[in-house]
Amino acid sequence: MTDKIGRNEAIALLKGPFGSEFLKNAAAYVDLFFWLLPVGHKMSVKGNGSIFFLCPEGRSLVVSANHVYHGWKTLLTIA
């Protein structure tokens, strides 16, 4: 037995109250991640991405996409 639903049913679910609750729940765990570099007397955003948080075994862990991590890491080697 399978619990899979079809594409049209999934779209219908996301357009309704389930989709609104799903978005609110996901947004509670996601945050903006950006890095700054000084430009004159001001700070300039040099990159950004999104991150989310996990707490396995009581520890905090931040997770992001590979390209976000490498963008940040590359900037550190340049700066």
Per residue in 66-78, pLDDT tens? 988 888 888 777 6
Reported as a pLDDT band with limits 50, 70 and 90, residue 79 is low
Q: In degrees rounded to 5, what are phi and psi of residue 30?
A: -115, 145
| Each residue's pLDDT tens digit, 12-32 | 999 999 999 999 988 888 888
Strand partners, 38: 43
**Domain ranges, ordered by start, for the chain:** 7-78
As a residue count, the chain comes to: 79
User: In which residue are the tokens 């389930």 written?
Assistant: 18
Q: What is the pLDDT of residues 23-62, one digit of tens each?
A: 998 888 888 888 888 888 998 888 888 988 888 888 888 8
By the 8 A CB rule, do 35 and 45 touch? yes
CA distance 15 to 20: 8
- The reported pLDDT for the residue numbered 10 is 93
Sheet holding 61-64, edge to edge: 30-39, 42-54, 61-64
